[in-house]
Amino acid sequence: AQSVTQLGSHVSVSEGALVLLRCNYSSSVPPYLFWYVQYPNQGLQLLLKYTSAATLVKGINGFEAEFKKSETSFHLTKPSAHMSDAAEYFCAVSSNSGYALNFGKGTSLLVTP
Amino acid sequence: DTEVTQTPKHLVMGMTNKKSLKCEQHMGHRAMYWYKQKAKKPPELMFVYSYEKLSINESVPSRFSPECPNSSLLNLHLHALQPEDSALYLCASSQEYRGDGETQYFGPGTRLLVL
C-alpha cells in the first residue's frame, strides 16, 4: 500500500518569500505523485504530478516539485509567495498496484503581507 | 475543457428527507468518483465508477446510493442521513480508472448540511 505524509499542518510565509511544503511518500512500487490545491469553499485543482518522466516537475501558478527517490520526498516549492497562494495543499499518491488516490492530511498555507 | 460540474452547490436536508447530488463531465472520461470531505481533512473516497459500473464501494453506509446513468453523469442519492454526514461532497473524473498516474479532475463540490 502507498501513503504520503505531509510535514506541517500549517505553514506561514511572508509575501515574496519562498514557499516550501513537504511531502514524503511510502510505496513498495514506483509511485505516481500529485499536488492538489484547494481554495476556500472550492474543489481540488491539480497543481502538478509526477509520473516518472522527469524528476523536476513544473506546475501551474509558478509551483514546482522535485521527486527524490533517495529521500522518498516530493516537496512543493514556489520561489515567491503571493497572497493568492493562501489555500490548503494536498499531496497524494497512487500506483499501478493501488489505483485510488491516497491523500496526505493537507497543509494550510498562510501568506502574510 | 477540464470542467466537472456539481449541483446543487449547497443543500440542507432533514434526517427524513430524500435528496440527490448530481455531477456531470463532458471530457469523455470513463471513470467517476465520489468523495466526502470533512472540514480541515483530506477527501475520503466513497465510490468509483468505471465504464458506468460500480468498481469500488469503500464500505459506505447504504443511506448513500450512487448511480451512473451514463458516462457523463453521476448521481448520489441520499436518504435518512445523520448529522455527522454533513460535509463537502466532491465528484471527480479521470480518463480511466487505472494505475498509470491518471489525473483526477474535481468538481467544486456540494456542501451538505444535515439537520
Secondary structure of residue A90 in the 3-state scheme: strand
Report the gap between the CA of B89 and the closest CA in chain A (Å): 9
Confidence of residue A41 (pLDDT cuts 50, 70, 90): confident
B10-13 and B110-114 beta bridge pairing: parallel
Tell me what pLDDT residue A98 has: 65
Torsion angle in degrees (nearest 10) through CA of A19, A60, B104, B60: 30
A97: left (phi over 0), alpha (psi -120 to 50) or beta: alpha
pLDDT for position A100? 82
How high is the pLDDT of residue A66?
95
A93 pLDDT above the threshold of 70: yes
The percent of residues in chain A predicted with pLDDT above 70, rounded, is: 97
Burial B30-59 (b: 16+ CB within 10 A, else e): bbbbbbbbeeeebbebbbbbbebeeebeee
**Does A17 contact B at CB distance below 8 Å?**
no
pLDDT of residue A112: 97
Measure the CA–CA gap between A32 and A100, rounded to whole angstroms: 11
Q: What is the mean pLDDT of residues A9-30?
A: 94
Average pLDDT of chain B is 94
* Residue B2: per-residue pLDDT: 67
Cis before B8? omega within 30: yes
B contacts of A96 (beta carbons < 8 Å): 98-100
Least confident of A52-56, B36-40, B84-88: A52-56
- Give the residue from A6, A89, A99, A105 with the most B CB atoms within 10 Å of its CB, the best one to mutate: A99
B90 to chain A, any CB pair closer than 8 A? The answer is: yes
Give the residue from chain A lying closest to B36, CA to CA.
A43
